[in-house]
């Protein structure tokens, strides 16, 4: 019996997905996308799930989309049919990555190794990207006379700016984990030896925060990115005033003040 493309488990409020096609460099096939889509829906609907972690096994986090493994691959057919198929399949991936952005709970991508193409596009839709010291990043599409087509250009530009988007896409440059940290592509780099332990500690930290506040914080940040500064500040005040009356928030503020007095 074949191994599943993605291993799924749950513990401590964390929904873990492990990309599990190391022999295919964890290239994203239809089964992988279907499993991620179902997990995102569970994360959205279930109160007991607070964080989703996506990681991988093998020498690649993901080598990108496995286009040969998708339904009705039209390779070798007419140009019109091929273009139509690519728009449909890329549109499906774009929709999934957008669903990941819109879910109110944090999603963490943990890169133990090279993250390429569609795997990087997926990771850019996650809230946090954590890298092992040996990880690396690359958009190889220019080598194939193509460009990233599932939100990679727009998200990379938004996260890292025009400067680095041109470096990675137009100049087709690979970046290592330390440079990825410098350019803002990843949030933290951990030693390979302690990577999994550090990733889980970070996910537990996220899961410890009140779900309602986490949801509001994530939505506020996403909205603020598209607002002018005046409206973004108005949004902050509105959100803050609504949180002031919550019992859970009051209890946490009291505990925080007590901890400060003890320190």
Arithmetic mean of pLDDT over the chain: 88
For residue 126, what are the CA distances in angstroms to 74, 103, 123, 185? 30, 10, 5, 11
Question: For residue 19, what pLDDT is reported?
Answer: 98
8 Å CB contact between 63 and 119: yes
Reported as a single tens digit per residue, the pLDDT across 130-170 is: 999 999 999 999 888 888 878 899 999 999 999 999 999 99
Report field, pTM of the whole predicted structure over 0.75:
yes
Q: What are the per-10-residue average pLDDT scores of the chain (263 residues)?
A: 92 98 95 97 98 98 81 55 66 89 97 97 98 98 86 95 97 98 99 98 97 91 83 78 66 61 65
Question: For residue 235, what pLDDT is reported?
Answer: 75
| Number of residues assigned to the chain | 263
Question: For residue 1, what pLDDT is reported?
Answer: 66
């Amino acid at each position: 019996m074949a191994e599943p493309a993605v291993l799924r488990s749950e513990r401590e409020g964390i929904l873990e997905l492990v990309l599990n096609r190391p022999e295919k460099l964890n290239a994203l096939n239809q089964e992988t996308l279907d499993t991620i889509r179902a997990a995102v829906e569970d994360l959205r609907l279930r109160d007991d799930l607070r964080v989703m972690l996506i990681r991988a096994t093998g020498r690649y986090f993901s080598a990108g989309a496995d286009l040969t493994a998708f339904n009705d691959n039209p390779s070798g057919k007419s140009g019109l049919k091929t273009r139509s198929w690519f728009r449909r399949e890329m549109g499906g991936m774009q929709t999934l990555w957008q669903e990941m952005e819109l879910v109110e709970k944090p999603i963490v991508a943990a890169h133990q190794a090279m993250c390429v193409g569609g795997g990087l596009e997926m990771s850019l839709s996650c809230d946090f990207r954590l890298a092992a010291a040996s990880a690396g990043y690359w958009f190889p599409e220019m080598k194939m006379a193509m460009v990233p087509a599932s939100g990679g250009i727009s998200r990379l530009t938004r996260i890292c700016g025009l400067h680095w988007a041109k470096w990675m896409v137009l100049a087709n440059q690979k970046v290592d984990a330390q440079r990825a940290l410098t350019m803002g592509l990843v949030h933290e780099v951990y030693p390979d030896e302690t990577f999994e332990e550090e990733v889980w500690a970070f996910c537990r930290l996220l899961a410890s925060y009140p779900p309602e506040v986490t949801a509001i914080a994530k939505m506020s940040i996403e909205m603020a990115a598209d607002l002018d500064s005046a409206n973004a500040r108005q949004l902050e005040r509105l959100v803050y005033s609504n949180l002031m009356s919550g019992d859970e928030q009051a209890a946490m503020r009291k505990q925080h003040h007590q901890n400060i007095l003890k320190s």
